[in-house]
Amino acid sequence: MTAMTPENAQTLALEALGWIAGNDELLPVFLGATGADGATLRAGAGDPAFLGSVLDFLLMDDAWIVAFCDAAGRAYEAPRSARAALPGGDLADWA
């Protein structure tokens, strides 16, 4: 698999954020897990570190990854590749 550029990773993370925001069941879980609110989401959309946290959240559940990737037309490994290209993504994955 080819490494993803930070710009492409941010694009994918923004897609994931939009997908989460449009999911009536998942959005409250995301907001509860991150402590974010609407203003935080808008501000975070331009912050690579926040976008990394969006992907961290998505990567917590294989069903979420599959649902997002199916909806976005992305390969299932794309969110993990994108996460690796954003700040903090080079940390060891202990899961």
pLDDT digits (tens, 9 = 90+) for 26-48: 999 999 998 888 898 889 899 99
Map residue 17 onto helix, strand or coil. Answer: helix
pTM across the whole model: 0.89
Quote the CA–CA distance of 52 and 48 in Å, as a whole number. 6
- Across all residues in the chain, what is the average pLDDT? 91
pLDDT digits (tens, 9 = 90+) for 65-76: 999 999 999 999
Tell me how many degrees the CA angle 28-63-66 measures, rounded to the nearest 5: 110
**Using an 8 Å Cβ cutoff, are 27 and 21 in contact?**
yes
**Using an 8 Å Cβ cutoff, are 82 and 9 in contact?**
yes
**Using an 8 Å Cβ cutoff, are 54 and 13 in contact?**
yes
